[in-house]
């Protein structure tokens, strides 16, 4: 158990260094809060697999920090590198192609992605660009709800709760705007 904690701690430290100086789209939240929450959500869902938890910490370092996937393989293991690679979105490909890639992936990739999407949905608010909000909601409705229903009732309920909360918040903002 001690080695398992050290391994995940190594992934956390690696992610902290890689994401140093980066912020979420709101421009206020340090980026490391995202992988930290993705790992937390997975643990809360009962995930104990160290490769999955390490991949949660590292899931954006290739895409957002310029870290080579080979380095992940060298510093961690090939299974973590495989999961991270599968989660890395090639910006030259369409969103639909990326979703298809996730759809055709295994449980490890899909469960990290569900935690990633859940946290993204949880943190939607007015400081996030509207097109990003629309893309996240559309992706949830077109694919992630169905995937979550199939592999994780926990994430299905989380996605539903966060989307419902966002809709209520949007409705309240519209009502406030009408009162002005």
Which residues are known to be catalytic?
63-64
* Owner of token pair 């449980």: 107
Neighbours of 169 (CB within 10 A): 13
User: In terms of Cα–Cα distance, which of 107, 125, 135, 110 is closest to 162?
Assistant: 125
DSSP sequence for 56-76: HHHTTHHHHH---HHHHHHHS
DSSP sequence for 79-132: HHHHHHHHH---TTS-HHHHHHHHHTS-HHHHHHHHHHHHHHHHT--TTS-HHH
179 burial (CB, 10 Å; 0-12 / 13-18 / 19+) is: exposed
């Amino acid at each position: 158990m001690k080695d398992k904690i050290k391994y995940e701690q190594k992934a956390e430290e690696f992610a902290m260094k890689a994401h140093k100086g980066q912020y979420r789209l709101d421009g206020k939240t340090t980026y490391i809060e995202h992988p930290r929450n993705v790992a937390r959500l997975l643990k809360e869902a009962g995930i104990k697999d160290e490769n999955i938890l390490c991949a949660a910490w590292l899931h954006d370092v290739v895409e957002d920090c310029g870290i080579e996937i080979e380095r992940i393989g060298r510093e961690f293991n090939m299974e973590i590198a495989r999961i991270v690679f599968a989660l890395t979105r090639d910006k030259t490909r369409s969103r639909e192609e990326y979703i298809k890639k996730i759809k055709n992936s295994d449980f490890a990739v899909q469960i990290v992605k569900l935690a990633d999407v859940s946290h993204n949905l949880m943190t939607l608010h007015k400081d996030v660009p509207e097109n990003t909000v629309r893309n996240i909601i559309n992706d949830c409705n077109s694919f992630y709800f169905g995937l979550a229903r199939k592999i994780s009732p926990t994430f299905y309920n989380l996605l539903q709760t966060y989307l419902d909360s966002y809709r209520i918040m949007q409705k309240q903002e519209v009502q406030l705007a009408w009162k002005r």
